[in-house]
C-alpha cells in the first residue's frame, strides 16, 4: 500500500466525559479524553495504518502533556507540537441528557493554540505532506490562526500538496456571517472537501447535496464527501456520485462522527480507491465513532476495519 503523510493542524482539548446522563451540576465524576477535529482525523488515519502528524500549540501544563502523550500513543507524529506559556491548554466538558443528546461547553478562550502564528510552523517539514487536512475551526480561534490557515492554503497550492478541508462550523466560536466571510474563499480552493449539508446552505447557498457537489467540482475539487448524519453521506468526484447509507449501530455519542468519516474517506483517497469505496470507508468509521464514548476510542485497527468492510452485517458493539 502506498503511504503518504497526512499533516493536520488545529487545536486539541482535554474533554471531560461525565459518568452520569444529567446536568453537569449534578455530576460527581468524569473521565478525560483528547478531543479535537484535526487530531481526531490524525488518530483515525494512524489506526488505519497511514502516516499522520498533528501540529499545534499546547500550554506548559499537565493537560498539554496529556494531549501530546495520548496522541503519540496512538501513533500520531507530535514532534512539531509547540509547548508555550502564552496560554493554557484548552479544555471542554460534555453533557449528556437522558435521551443521549450531547452538549459541549468550551473553555478555550485565550488558549495556547489560539496564539499559533505563521512563524511558528516548520515549513520545510510541511513539504513532506501528501495531504494537508484543515478545518474551519482553526480560523475561528484568533486572527493569527486565521492567517495561519490562509497561508497554509497558499503554501499547499505552491508545493502541490493536496488540501483536505472540513468547514466544521462552530457557532459557539463565531457568527454565521463571519464564518461565511472567512470560509467561503477557502472552501472553493480545497482539493478534498468534507462537509455537512447545512454548511453547504451557509457557504454555497444550497443545502442540496447534488448541487453542493456540482458547485465544488466546477471549482476544481477532486473528491467530495457530504455528511448527512442519520441519512448517510453523498460522495462524488469528476467520474461519478453516490449516496452511501449509514451502517446501523447503537448510537451512544454522536460527537466525533464527522472526523471519523473524514479519516476513513481520506484513507480511501490515499489508497487510490474509487470514490464509492472512499465513502463506504468513511461511513464505517463514522458508525464506529458514534457507538462509543469519546471521539476516537471506538475506532478500529486496520485488521478489524478490513474485516468489518467485508462484512456488511450490523456492527454489534
Q: Does domain 6-11+37-57+121-310 have CATH number 3.40.1190.20?
A: yes
Please report, for the chain, the start and end positions of each structural domain, with discontinuous segments joined by +. 6-11+37-57+121-310
Which pLDDT score, from 0 to 100, does residue 295 have? 67
Active site residues: 259
pLDDT < 50 stretches in the chain: 1-3, 313-317
Which pLDDT score, from 0 to 100, does residue 313 have? 46
Strand order, beta sheet including 162-166: 52-55, 6-9, 131-135, 162-166, 192-196, 223-227, 233-236, 241-244
Polymer length in residues for the chain: 317
The residue assigned the cell 458493539 is 317
Residue-wise pLDDT tens digits, 266-296: 999 999 999 999 999 999 999 888 777 666 7
Which pLDDT score, from 0 to 100, does residue 3 have? 43
Alpha-carbon gap, residue 135 to 75, rounded angstroms: 21
DSSP string, 76-143: -B-TTPEEESSSPPPEEEEEE-TT--EEEEEE-TT-SGGG--GGGS-HHHHTT-SEEEEETTHHHH-H
- Determine contact, residues 31/311, Cβ cutoff 8 Å: no
Which pLDDT score, from 0 to 100, does residue 100 have? 64
- Determine contact, residues 242/236, Cβ cutoff 8 Å: yes
Nearest in space to 192 (alpha carbons), one of 222, 154, 147: 222
Which pLDDT score, from 0 to 100, does residue 13 have? 97
Alpha-carbon gap, residue 38 to 78, rounded angstroms: 13
Residue-wise pLDDT tens digits, 241-251: 999 998 777 77
Alpha-carbon gap, residue 241 to 246, rounded angstroms: 16
- Determine contact, residues 116/144, Cβ cutoff 8 Å: yes
Alpha-carbon gap, residue 106 to 93, rounded angstroms: 7
Amino acid at each position: 500500500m502506498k503511504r503518504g503523510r497526512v499533516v493536520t493542524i488545529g487545536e486539541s482539548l482535554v474533554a471531560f466525559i461525565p459518568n452520569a446522563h444529567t446536568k453537569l451540576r449534578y455530576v460527581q465524576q468524569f473521565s478525560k479524553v483528547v478531543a479535537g477535529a484535526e487530531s481526531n482525523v490524525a488518530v483515525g488515519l494512524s489506526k488505519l495504518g497511514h502516516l499522520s502528524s498533528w501540529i499545534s500549540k499546547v500550554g506548559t501544563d499537565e493537560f498539554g502533556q496529556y494531549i501530546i502523550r495520548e496522541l503519540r500513543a496512538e501513533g500520531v507524529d507530535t514532534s512539531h507540537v509547540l509547548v508555550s506559556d502564552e496560554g493554557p491548554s484548552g479544555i471542554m466538558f460534555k453533557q449528556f441528557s437522558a435521551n443521549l443528546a450531547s452538549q459541549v461547553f468550551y473553555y478555550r478562550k485565550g488558549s495556547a493554540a489560539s496564539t499559533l502564528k505563521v512563524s511558528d510552523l516548520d515549513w520545510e517539514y510541511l513539504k513532506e505532506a501528501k495531504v494537508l487536512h484543515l478545518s474551519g475551526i482553526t480560523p475561528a480561534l484568533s486572527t493569527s490562526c486565521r492567517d495561519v490557515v490562509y497561508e497554509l492554503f497558499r503554501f499547499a497550492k505552491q508545493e502541490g500538496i493536496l488540501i483536505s478541508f472540513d468547514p466544521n462550523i462552530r457557532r459557539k466560536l463565531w457568527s454565521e456571517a463571519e464564518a461565511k466571510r472567512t470560509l467561503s474563499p477557502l472552501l472553493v480552493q480545497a482539493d478534498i472537501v468534507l462537509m455537512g449539508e447545512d454548511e453547504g446552505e451557509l457557504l454555497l447557498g444550497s443545502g442540496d447535496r447534488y448541487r453542493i457537489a456540482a458547485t465544488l467540482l466546477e471549482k476544481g475539487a477532486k473528491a467530495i464527501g457530504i455528511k448527512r448524519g442519520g441519512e448517510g453521506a453523498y460522495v462524488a468526484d469528476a467520474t461519478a456520485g453516490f449516496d452511501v447509507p449509514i451502517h446501523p449501530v447503537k448510537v451512544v455519542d454522536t460527537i466525533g462522527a464527522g472526523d471519523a468519516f473524514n479519516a476513513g474517506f481520506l484513507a480511501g483517497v490515499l489508497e487510490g480507491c474509487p470514490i464509492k469505496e472512499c465513502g463506504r470507508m468513511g461511513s464505517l468509521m463514522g458508525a464506529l465513532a458514534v457507538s462509543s464514548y469519546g471521539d476516537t476510542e471506538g475506532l478500529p485497527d486496520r485488521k478489524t476495519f478490513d474485516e468489518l468492510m467485508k462484512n456488511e452485517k450490523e456492527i454489534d458493539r
